[in-house]
């Protein structure tokens, strides 16, 4: 997942203490740019799409690069595992890469994790102006699948560590890299990372390159940067109606499709209770400073009274704020009937819910059953996902992110973010390991909103900036 939601928000400066840190150069050296370009080209040119079996090749390539950069072979691990596509149920072999950079001497803290995913979504050549699996540099942009979701983060983390190691940087705590192989399907690698791979990933917290980032308007004005500290829980439900059917020339009131349609009408009309968390309260506190009209008034009214449903509804009606005030559920797939001249014996609908952090998906199942309120309509869960949790706004992490962003982009607005989508962060957060979406790449908005779409692209300078950004983060959080 990489869904940057970039708005004009005020900076957090002054709200949290700023940590002291050294100031590496805020431009990328020519040799590091060339190495970054070469690695980016190599990984983008590997089509790490589910079903093609190429993730292990990318994991092994990166592992070789880490060993060549001086990381001991005993601390570089390619871990194979199997991943199953949740729709097709097809299973393939994939892999995760785990690298540990050990602190010399006594560590001053528990390890921190730098994480991302190597897999990408499918792309067809005929749908794009360039081959999506051949990196193309054109007019100041890198084009290709994964340029913003999220091989830029994989390369930026890796090149930043190579640069720091070459410069003699000595971390004061262990740094652990985790790159998984199936975030775009069902996230088994992240689940294993949060449970089975404790011997490698016993970390205090993680910094996720599949979150955060920033944007600029075409005239160069900063829109803002965001650090992702929460995400909604992805959960699927099915409405099922069964009926004895019959001949279509003899219609009856008890029609499976009608019953399903009435149930969907009720779900469409329902509004879940609005909720505020530490992350969303901080976000809207900053947002309302920039909104002077009706939307800003609604934000201020809701912050003053979180039970003000009308104000929350007004916020939710704004396209940019959809999903940020509550749980949202929407039908995404329909199936019904078996013949043109027969009354339907079966009608089903897939309901996709994005649930507010901390809310149990089983409670949403009860809510949907109550909303539908029809004995003929069976509501069931499609997965076993547990509730996603928010990460606390740690002063050290927030300050380091702020300092890194402002070193490269002075004065750019910064705010915390709750993503409406899902990432590899969820299983770690539910296991009690805070995760912070802290990537530093940026886009020109809105023209570069192309993740998972046609002509995915990233400004060339944004990748170079991202390498420096991660150097600044690591120096602040794992340096003296």
Return d(Cα 347, Cα 358) in angstroms, integer: 32
CA dist., res. 412 & res. 7, Å (int): 11
What domains can be seen in the chain, in order of their start residue? 30-231+390-478 (3.40.630.10), 233-381 (3.30.70.360)
In the predicted model, what is the mean pLDDT of residues 208-232? Answer: 94
**Which CA distances in Å does 396 have to 87, 286, 401?**
41, 20, 9
Taking all residues of the chain, what is their mean pLDDT, rounded to a whole number? 92
What is the pLDDT at residue 11?
31
Q: Per-residue confidence at 28, pLDDT binned at 50, 70, 90?
A: confident
Confidence of residue 84 (pLDDT cuts 50, 70, 90): confident
The band of 86, judged by pLDDT with boundaries at 50, 70 and 90, is low
Report the alpha-carbon distance of residue 364 to residue 329 in Å, rounded: 9
User: Is 70 exceeded by the pLDDT of residue 70?
Assistant: yes
What is the secondary structure of 53-118 as a DSSP string?
--HHHHHHHHHHHHHHTT--GGGEEEEEEEEE-TTT--EEEEEEEEEEEPPSSS-SS--EEEEEE-
Q: Contact 357/232 with Cβ under 8 angstroms?
A: yes
Give me 137's structure tokens.
């540099």
pLDDT band at 480 (very low <50, low <70, confident <90, very high): confident
What region, left, alpha or beta, does residue 172 occupy, with left being phi > 0 and alpha being psi -120 to 50 degrees? alpha
Cβ neighbour number for residue 118 with a 10 Å cutoff: 30
Residue 17 has pLDDT above 70, yes or no: no
Higher-confidence residue: 25 or 143? 143
- Per-residue pLDDT tens digits for 30-65: 999 999 999 999 999 999 999 999 999 999 999 999
- Which tens digit of pLDDT belongs to each residue from 149-207? 999 999 999 999 999 999 999 999 999 999 999 999 989 999 999 999 999 999 999 99
Q: In terms of C-beta distances under 8 Å and separation of at least 24 residues, what long-range contacts does 331-334 make, across chains too? A: 331/264, 331/267, 334/260
Flag whether pLDDT at 463 surpasses 80.
Answer: yes
For 280, the enclosing helix (H) or strand (E) is helix 278-290
Does the structure show a pLDDT above 90 at 441?
yes
pLDDT in tens, 353-367: 999 999 999 999 999
DSSP letter (8 states) at residue 210:
E
The confidence band for 88, taking pLDDT boundaries of 50, 70 and 90, is: low
């Amino acid at each position: 997942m990489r869904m940057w939601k970039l708005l004009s928000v005020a900076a957090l400066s002054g709200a949290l203490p700023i940590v002291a840190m050294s100031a590496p150069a805020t431009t990328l050296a020519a040799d590091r740019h060339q190495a970054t370009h070469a690695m980016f080209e190599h990984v983008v040119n590997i089509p790490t799409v589910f079903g093609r079996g190429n993730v292990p090749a990318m994991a092994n390539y990166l592992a070789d690069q880490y060993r060549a950069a001086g990381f001991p072979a005993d601390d570089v691990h390619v871990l194979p595992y199997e991943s199953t596509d949740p729709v097709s149920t097809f299973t393939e072999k994939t892999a995760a890469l785990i690298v540990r950079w050990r602190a010399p001497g006594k560590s001053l803290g528990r390890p921190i994790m730098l994480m991302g995913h190597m897999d990408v979504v499918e792309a067809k050549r005929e749908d794009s102006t360039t081959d999506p699996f051949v990196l193309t540099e054109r007019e100041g942009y890198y084009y290709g699948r994964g340029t913003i979701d999220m091989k830029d983060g994989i390369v930026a983390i890796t090149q930043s560590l190579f640069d720091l190691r070459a410069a003699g940087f000595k971390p004061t705590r262990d740094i652990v890299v985790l790159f998984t192989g199936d975030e775009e399907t069902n996230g088994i690698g992240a689940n294993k990372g949060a449970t089975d791979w404790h011997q490698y990933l016993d970390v205090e917290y993680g910094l996720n390159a599949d979150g955060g980032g920033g944007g600029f308007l075409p005239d160069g004005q900063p829109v803002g940067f965001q650090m992702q500290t929460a995400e909604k829980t992805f959960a699927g439900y099915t409405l099922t109606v069964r009926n004895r059917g019959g001949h279509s020339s003899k219609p009856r009131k008890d029609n499976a499709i009608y019953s399903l349609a009435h149930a969907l009408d009720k779900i469409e009309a329902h509004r879940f209770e609005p909720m505020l968390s530490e992350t969303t309260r901080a976000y809207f506190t900053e947002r309302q400073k920039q909104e002077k009209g009706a939307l800003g008034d609604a934000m201020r009214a809701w912050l003053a009274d979180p039970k003000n449903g009308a104000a929350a509804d007004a916020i939710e009606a704004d396209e940019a704020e959809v999903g940020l005030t509550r749980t949202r559920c929407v039908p995404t797939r329909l199936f019904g009937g078996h013949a043109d001249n027969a009354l339907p014996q079966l009608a089903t609908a897939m309901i996709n819910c994005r649930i507010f952090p901390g809310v149990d998906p089983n409670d949403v199942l009860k809510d949907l059953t109550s909303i539908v309120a029809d004995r003929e309509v069976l509501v069931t869960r499609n997965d076993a996902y547990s509730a996603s949790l928010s990460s606390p706004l740690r002063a050290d992490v927030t300050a380091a992110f702020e300092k890194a962003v402002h070193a490269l982009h002075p004065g750019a607005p910064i705010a915390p973010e709750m993503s409406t989508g899902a990432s590899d962060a969820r299983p770690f957060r539910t296991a009690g390991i805070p995760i912070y979406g802290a990537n530093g790449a940026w886009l020109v908005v809105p023209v570069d909103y192309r993740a998972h779409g046609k002509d995915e692209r990233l400004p060339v300078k944004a990748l170079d900036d991202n390498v420096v950004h991660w150097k600044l983060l690591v120096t602040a959080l794992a340096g003296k």
